[in-house]
C-alpha cells in the first residue's frame, strides 16, 4: 500500500499550490490514498467548507485537523456533515465530528487516526491512553496516525509507543519539516513533522513583518495576516506491506516552485 501525506495547508496560497502540485505528485507516487492536514487552510486559521472542498477536489482522500479545527463558526456543522474530514480523536468528548476514518479498498482497509498532543496545545485527553483504547478495535486495518503536536519529545515518544502496532506515525502542527523520516525498530514508519504547504518566505505561513513585530513587542501586538509569495509543499510518502502492515519504505516529500 502506498500512502502520500501532505503537511498543514496554510491559507488560500497553500490551497492553490496544493491544487497545482498534487495531481503531478499522484502521478509520480501512484498512492492508494492521500491524507492532507487542512486545519489552517481557511483564511486566518481553521477550516471552512470552501477550503475543504478545494482540498478534496485537489485529490485528497482524507482531511485531518488539529487545534484550529473548530476556529470557524461553521466548523461544528462541517465536521458532522463531511465524512472525510476528521479532527483529533482525543479532543473533549462533546466536540462535533469524528477522530478517525476507515477507507475500504476491498483488498485492504486503511484506518486514519488523528490525535492532538498534550504539551503546549489545547485541552485534550491523554493521547497515549486514548490511542491505546482505539487500537483495541479494528486491528485488521492498516493504521496511520497524524499526531498534531508541538513537542518533538512527545511525538517521538508516541512513535515508539506505537511502534509495531500501527503502520505509520507522522507529526503535524509545527509547519517545519524535520529530517528524520525512518522506520522504527518494530516496523512502524515515522517522521517527527512533515512540514507545511504554504508560502516559503514566511513565519509558518504567516506574514513575516507582523510575526517579528509581535515577538519583539508583545505588548503592542499587530494582527497576524497570511503571507503572500512563492510556496512549498511538504509531506511524507510511505509504502506499507499489506500483510504484515509494516512500513517497508519512507521518504520526505518536498516541492518548491
Q: How confident is the model over 110-145, as pLDDT tens digits?
A: 999 999 999 988 889 999 999 999 999 877 899 999
The pLDDT score that the predictor gives to residue 124 is: 92
Buried b (16+ CB within 10 A) or exposed e, 89-117: bbbeeebebebbbebeeeebbbbbbbbbb
CB 253 within 8 A of CB 235: yes
Q: Is 90 left (phi over 0), alpha (psi -120 to 50) or beta?
A: alpha
Parent domain of 118: 2-256
d(CA 110, CA 133): 18
d(CA 228, CA 230): 7
CA dist 1 → 17, 34, 81, 228, 243 (Å)? 26, 11, 28, 36, 10
Rounded-to-5 percentages of helix, strand, coil across the chain: 25, 30, 45
The CATH number for 134's domain is 3.60.21.10
> Which are the catalytic amino acids?
68
Question: Phi and psi (nearest 5°) for 143?
Answer: -110, 130
User: What cell was used for 38?
Assistant: 487542512
The pLDDT score that the predictor gives to residue 140 is: 87
The pLDDT score that the predictor gives to residue 24 is: 97
Question: Phi and psi (nearest 5°) for 88?
Answer: -50, 125
The pLDDT score that the predictor gives to residue 107 is: 83
The pLDDT score that the predictor gives to residue 219 is: 96
> Block means of pLDDT (10 residues each) for the chain, length 257 residues?
97 97 98 97 94 98 96 95 97 93 90 95 92 89 97 98 98 97 98 98 96 96 94 98 96 95
CB 201 within 8 A of CB 230: yes
Task: Give how many domains the chain has, as a whole number.
Answer: 1
The pLDDT score that the predictor gives to residue 122 is: 81
C-beta atoms surrounding 81 within 10 Å: 13
Q: What does pTM read for this prediction?
A: 0.96
Amino acid at each position: 500500500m502506498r500512502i502520500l501525506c501532505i503537511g498543514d495547508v496554510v491559507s488560500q496560497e497553500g490551497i492553490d499550490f496544493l491544487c497545482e502540485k498534487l495531481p503531478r505528485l499522484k502521478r509520480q507516487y501512484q498512492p492508494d490514498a492521500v491524507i492532507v492536514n487542512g486545519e489552517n487552510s481557511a483564511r486566518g486559521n481553521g477550516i471552512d467548507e470552501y477550503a475543504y472542498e478545494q482540498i478534496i477536489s485537489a485529490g485528497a482522500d482524507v482531511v485531518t485537523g488539529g487545534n484550529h479545527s473548530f476556529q470557524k463558526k461553521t466548523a461544528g456543522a462541517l465536521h458532522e456533515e463531511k465524512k472525510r474530514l476528521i479532527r483529533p480523536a482525543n479532543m473533549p468528548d462533546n466536540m462535533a465530528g469524528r477522530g478517525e476514518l476507515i477507507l475500504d479498498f476491498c483488498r485492504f482497509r486503511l484506518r486514519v487516526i488523528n490525535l492532538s498532543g498534550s504539551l503546549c496545545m489545547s485541552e485534550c485527553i491523554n493521547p497515549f491512553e486514548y490511542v491505546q483504547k482505539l487500537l483495541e478495535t479494528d486491528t485488521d486495518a492498516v493504521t496511520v496516525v497524524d499526531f498534531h503536536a508541538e513537542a518533538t519529545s512527545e511525538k517521538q515518544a508516541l512513535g515508539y509507543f506505537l511502534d509495531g502496532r500501527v503502520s505509520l506515525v507522522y507529526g503535524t502542527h509545527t509547519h517545519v519539516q524535520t529530517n528524520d523520516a525512518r522506520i522504527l525498530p518494530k516496523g512502524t514508519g515515522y517522521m517527527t513533522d512533515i512540514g507545511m504547504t504554504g508560502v516559503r518566505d514566511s513565519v509558518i505561513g504567516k506574514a513575516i513583518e507582523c510575526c517579528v513585530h509581535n515577538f519583539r513587542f508583545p505588548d503592542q501586538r499587530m494582527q497576524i495576516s497570511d503571507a503572500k509569495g512563492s510556496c512549498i509543499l511538504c509531506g511524507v510518502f510511505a509504502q506499507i506491506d499489506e500483510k504484515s502492515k509494516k512500513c517497508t519504505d519512507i521518504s520526505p516529500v518536498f516541492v518548491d516552485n
